[in-house]
Every structure is written in structure tokens, then in C-alpha cells.
Homo-oligomer: A and B are copies of this chain.
């Protein structure tokens, strides 16, 4: 099938075929070929059958390019700069602001790669603050810090992975530990295809559970049509969608509007997350939640309105 292990000729100049580069950089084969055609980079050497063999330096530069493009740079503007220039571009970012001590401790342990103490620092913050404050202050602050540090290149990929896993462990643990539902609505909670961020979703779930709502969490990336079918199946009163700031605001609003048209009048649609935090406009029939306080108000409002009936 695939010819991997391409460093058969020269052990120190390991070679990667186009499939390996696609996997390691996230750039599609088509993109790699069209960059070579248009910009002259990367220009890999070829094996005996004219198939591309990328060098390790090329692979590293491609990963830097990918990072910068994700941050908003245009490929054509940066592709012909040197690797060192690209590194400087990454580290040239505004320094962080003062962080509260709880957050600073957690970050320190993460950067020291001390897994056990990192876990304990998180658990300690949770115990000290309680679930609600932990989520709305500490986790939100950590997310923000990690996002900034990631852009500045001060955090490595695996640090972010480890962070995400442990936050998930702790939030899911807290969610399970919640007592049964109270008087709130049944909230169907998920995100639309393209939105892969799970932590925001779990934060909302934790807050909802802590406030006594019954949460039906479907994880990320549920197609709209399946959300429509899930609402009657689980007898949901509200559908809540999360949009991270990776999603364009217009796309988030469009998704909410489309879902709104598919659902009956009595079902409420809520939207929140980074993409909508600064939204001016709203969608008709959709409730935008710009903060966790908004979320709690919305819950309270729902309770008041439905207690009368």
C-alpha cells in the first residue's frame, strides 16, 4: 500500500513521502503540490520513480507555516521566508497580563511537565473554589492563557493536549458527581460540524448541572438534521450550541438560524461561546449567551416562565 520508512538511503537525512507530510502537517497533498508549483516551496527531491521525498527541515518549516497561517497570516506572504524568520514571527507577540495565583500555579506545573502536580493543582483549585467558580474563573482563565501562549509559541503541542485531557477528566468527574436534576429545563447540548472544541461544551455542561438543569450532552459536531431528530427523542426543552472563536461569527449565526427554522416554536435555541461573545446582531428566535452569567440568567428566566403554567 504505502511506502513508508523512506529513510532507507541516508539515515540522517530522513525522508518523508507526501502522505507522511500530509499527516504530520495537516496540509493536504493537493496543497503541497500546488505550493510547489506556485511558490517553489517546498521543492522535495524525488525517488527513482519521481515521487516526492521531503526533508526534515522542509517538514519543520511547513509546520511553522501551518501555525502562522492558522493565526491569520497569508501563505503567499510568508512562504519564502527563512525558518528562523518564521520562528521570530511566532514569538513576536504581546506578553501576557498578570494572572491570578491559582492559575499561575497550574500553568507552572503544566510547563514543568509535572503531570501529578498539575493534576493536583487543578483538583485543589476545584475543591477550593467549588465547581461554578472553578469553571467560570479558573478554567476560562486557563483557556485564555493557553490560547495566547499557543500563538506566541510558548506552549508545545503536547502541553496543550495534556491540558485538554486533564480538564476533561476533571470536568467530567464533576459532572458525574452532581446530584440528580432539579427543576430546570432539559437542555440538549452539542456543537455543529466543524466545531471540535470540547472544553467549552463541558464547561457549559458543568454549569448547567450545577444549576440543576437536566443536561443531554451529545459531544461535538452533531449534524443539524440529527439535532432536530434528537430533540423529540430526548424530550428536550432547549437546544444549546457552543461556538469557539475558531468559528466565523457569521457561520455560527447561520447555523443557529437554520436550526431555529427546523425546530418547533416551543423549543428554545441558545447559542454561546467565543465566536458569539462580541456579536452585535442576533438571530431571530435565538438567545445569545455572551457570558456564563447570561447562561444562568437564561436558566432562571426559563424557570420563572415555566413555573406559571
Contacts and interface: CB of A to CB of B under 8 A. Distances in A.
Interface of A: 1-2, 4-5, 7, 14, 20, 23-26, 59-60, 63, 113, 115-116, 156-158, 161-162, 164-165, 168-170, 172-173, 175-177, 180, 190, 192-194, 214, 216-219, 222-227, 229-230, 233-234, 248, 250-251, 253-255, 257-258, 261
Counting from the closest, the 5 A-B pairs by CB-CB distance are: A4-B254, A1-B250, A158-B230, A161-B218, A157-B226
A176 B165 contact: no
Given A156-B229, A222-B157, A169 B180 contact: no
A218 to B, nearest CB: 4
A225 B226 CA distance: 37
Contacts of A229: 156-158
28 contacts: A2-B250, A2-B251, A2-B254, A4-B254, A4-B258, A5-B224, A5-B258, A5-B261, A7-B261, A23-B193, A23-B255, A24-B223, A24-B224, A63-B225, A116-B180, A156-B226, A156-B229, A157-B222, A157-B223, A158-B233, A161-B190, A162-B216, A162-B218, A164-B219, A165-B219, A168-B219, A169-B172, A173-B176
Contacts of A5: 224, 254, 257-258, 261
Given A1-B250, A26-B193, A194-B23, A172 B168 contact: yes
Contacts of A224: 5, 23-24
